[in-house]
Amino acid sequence: MSQFFYICSMDVKEILEQGNNSFLPNLSIDMVIIGYKGNVLKCLLLKIGKNWLLPGGYIRLDQSVDEAAQNILKQRTGLENSHLKFLSVFGEKNRQFKKVMKEFFEKTGMEWTEDYWFNNRFVSLAYYSLVNIDKTHPSVSHFDEAFAWFDFDELPEMWMDHKSIVNTARQRLKEDIRNEQMTYNLLPKEFTMPELYQLHQVILEKKIERSRFQKKMLSTGLFERLPELQKTTPGRNPYQYRVKIDL
């Protein structure tokens, strides 16, 4: 199990205090936050009760949906103006967090009542974000639960339809990397071609021809070569590249 644990926060108190009148009462945001470490794609999950779920939140009346999403991402990771893309709508009729919330409240000793507004049925807007794991730092607040980066291939039991949301993001990432070669925050600013090559293979879940890959990447004109890197590995030293700054 290649997870590393932190302490994380559910901003339940804030949500309770602001309550019904501050948020759209039937819309939630779920966020698939994706990182890359040790040649594996990872996904940030929170633990509530016995199962896990995606980080998420609600939309304030004075926020646009996109603002709310950026805000949630910042709350969860500390990142501002990071990569963030709308994924899909999940609108099945029985989508409600009642069971999850009850378990969470009982576990943390908080009072739970049937008519809390977040027991409503929620339609969820799913987003996904690519982040540099090392640059994220979680905020800790009143009610702390575990959170962890899970390998995509080792997802735990998750609440509701959250596993299918993650899988939707997984597929979407595949499509997106074919169109825009951007790796956003998945690699450090400077990286070698073999590293980029590895990442693409991991995302696409298949072998790519090394020579073809190099030519394709260079022909996009998106990358610029830096002076060579000194490595102590057996073979030849790879060049370093970085994304041209225009984007």
Site residues, DNA (CB under 7 A): 192-194, 209-212, 214, 216, 218-219, 228, 230, 232-239
Find the shortest distance in angstroms from Cβ 185 to DNA: 21
DSSP state of 121: B
Find the shortest distance in angstroms from Cβ 218 to a copy of itself: 26
The entry of a copy of itself, DNA, none near residue 234 (CB within 5 to 8 angstroms by kind) is DNA
Residue 79, C-beta contacts closer than 8 angstroms, at least 6 positions apart: 73, 131, 135, 136
The entry of DNA, a copy of itself, none near residue 212 (CB within 5 to 8 angstroms by kind) is DNA
The nearer residue to DNA, 93 or 212, going by C-beta atoms, is 212
Amino acid code (one letter) for 47: K
Residue 98, C-beta contacts closer than 8 angstroms, at least 6 positions apart: 119
Find the shortest distance in angstroms from Cβ 54 to a copy of itself: 17
The entry of DNA, a copy of itself, none near residue 218 (CB within 5 to 8 angstroms by kind) is DNA
User: Smallest Cα–Cα separation from 72: which of 12, 9, 29, 14?
Assistant: 29
The binding site for a copy of itself (CB under 8 A) comprises 24-27, 59, 61-67, 86, 88-89, 91-93, 121, 123, 125
The nearer residue to DNA, 113 or 233, going by C-beta atoms, is 233
Residue 178: how many other CB atoms lie within 10 Å: 11
Residue 45, C-beta contacts closer than 8 angstroms, at least 6 positions apart: 52, 53, 54, 55, 147, 148, 149, 150, 155, 156, 158
The nearer residue to a copy of itself, 91 or 194, going by C-beta atoms, is 91
The nearer residue to DNA, 109 or 235, going by C-beta atoms, is 235
Find the shortest distance in angstroms from Cβ 115 to a copy of itself: 14
For 146, the 3-state DSSP assignment is strand
The nearer residue to DNA, 171 or 237, going by C-beta atoms, is 237
The nearer residue to DNA, 7 or 229, going by C-beta atoms, is 229
Find the shortest distance in angstroms from Cβ 178 to DNA: 9
Find the shortest distance in angstroms from Cβ 24 to a copy of itself: 4
Place of tokens 């799913």: 126
The entry of DNA, a copy of itself, none near residue 59 (CB within 5 to 8 angstroms by kind) is a copy of itself
The entry of DNA, a copy of itself, none near residue 206 (CB within 5 to 8 angstroms by kind) is none
Distance CA 149, CA 48 (A): 15
Find the shortest distance in angstroms from Cβ 63 to a copy of itself: 6
Residue 15, C-beta contacts closer than 8 angstroms, at least 6 positions apart: 23, 57, 58, 118
Q: How far is CA 50 from CA 141, 180, 233, in A?
A: 20, 38, 44
CA angle, corner 46, sides to 101 and 23, nearest 5?
55
